[in-house]
Amino acid sequence: MNTIWHLVLNGISSGAVYAALGLSLVIIYRATRVVNFAQPALALISAYLAYATTKATGSYWLGFAVALLAGTLLGVLVERLLIRRVSRRSELSSIIVTLGLLLVLQAVAGMIWSNEPHAFGYAFDFRGRFSATDLFAVSAVLVTAAGVLLLFKFTPLGLRMRAAAFRPEVAKMLGVRVGLMLTAGWGLAALVGSLAGMLAIPPFISPNVLDKVFVFALTAAVLGGLDNPVGTIVGGFALGIGLSCISGLVGPELVPLAALAVLVLVLAVRPSGLFGRTIARRV
């Protein structure tokens, strides 16, 4: 009984990371029908910048702030400089560009900071069951997710962003600067993604450190519905708990297989996600 409880707690804190990274995918997918495969690389670069800042100044929180800022900026730049140029062709070309960007940015990170892992600090004490760091991860993600949802639901900016995502042409006719809303969406998504990176990366940073987390985040997003932010957040926590239990009760080597099984199963049976209230919109 005790172990189950322990596994669930563990799962909640890793699930928080999947939820946040998944949410960053959903924000972009909902607006552009593009899965941003470059998201982990954007988070990676911003985490490396945090690493460099913390190393130079000794302040974890300064590094943390730099990561969020740099992440946002990277998202904005990627949309403005790359995605905007290719998105008019097709969604597929945007997806391929994000895949290419993933590889390029990981290589660049390796060139600048080497492929060797560097020690990467936790925000707080990380020892024990549901440590201060775990608590921080879960609350940071919950606060951020709530912030994103409130922004979408209750602010004029959020209303514009949703309109631009659902019906870009109609939004334009109503005076919405649709291009600007897409840029804002990429910035917001990359901000959330960078937060996820900062939480997921410790204790070591290396160019491929987020690969596995990204696969889990994508699974969470597919599970919750790629255009359903709330579903994806729930999906992230559910997946975190589920995988933690599999790891603890069956064996850690089965975790990737279990995630893959969930991914395939959901795509095959309920492609719009477990909470798929958007099925009607797709047809």
Give the interface with other proteins as residue ranges (CB under 8 A).
156, 159-160, 162-163, 166-167, 169-178, 281
Q: How many angstroms separate the CA atoms of 51 and 53, rounded?
A: 5
For other proteins, give the closer residue by CB, 129 or 177: 177
Please identify which residue in the block is written with the tokens 């990380």.
126
**In the bound complex, what is the minimum distance in angstroms from residue 212's beta carbon to other proteins?**
34
CB neighbourhood size of 123 (10 A): 17
Report in angstroms the alpha-carbon separations of 228 from 84, 154, 193.
Answer: 24, 17, 16
C-alpha distance from residue 50 to each of 28, 47, 167, 279 (Å): 24, 5, 37, 40
Alpha-carbon span 176 to 157, nearest angstrom: 10
Q: Calculate ∠ Cα 59-62-63, nearest 5°.
A: 90
> What's the min distance (Å) between Cβ of 30 and other proteins?
10
Q: Which is nearer to other proteins, 80 or 118 (CB)?
A: 80
End-to-end CA distance of the chain: 46
| Identity of the residue, 6 or 162, whose beta carbon is nearer to other proteins in the bound complex | 162
CB of 282 to other proteins, least distance (A): 12
Give the residue among 198, 248, 238 at the shortest CA–CA distance from 216.
Answer: 238
Q: How far is the CB of 87 from other proteins (least distance, A)?
A: 17
Which residue number, 168 or 248, has a Cβ lying nearer to other proteins? Answer: 168
Tokens 């008019």 sit on residue = 88
- Report which secondary-structure segment, H or E, holds 118: strand 118-119
Residue 173 or 269: the one with the smaller Cβ distance to other proteins is 173
Closest separation between CB of residue 39 and other proteins, Å? 24
Q: For residues 89 and 153, which CB has a smaller minimum distance to other proteins in the complex?
A: 153
Residue 131, classed as helix, strand or coil, is: coil
Least spacing, CB of residue 231 vs other proteins, in Å: 15
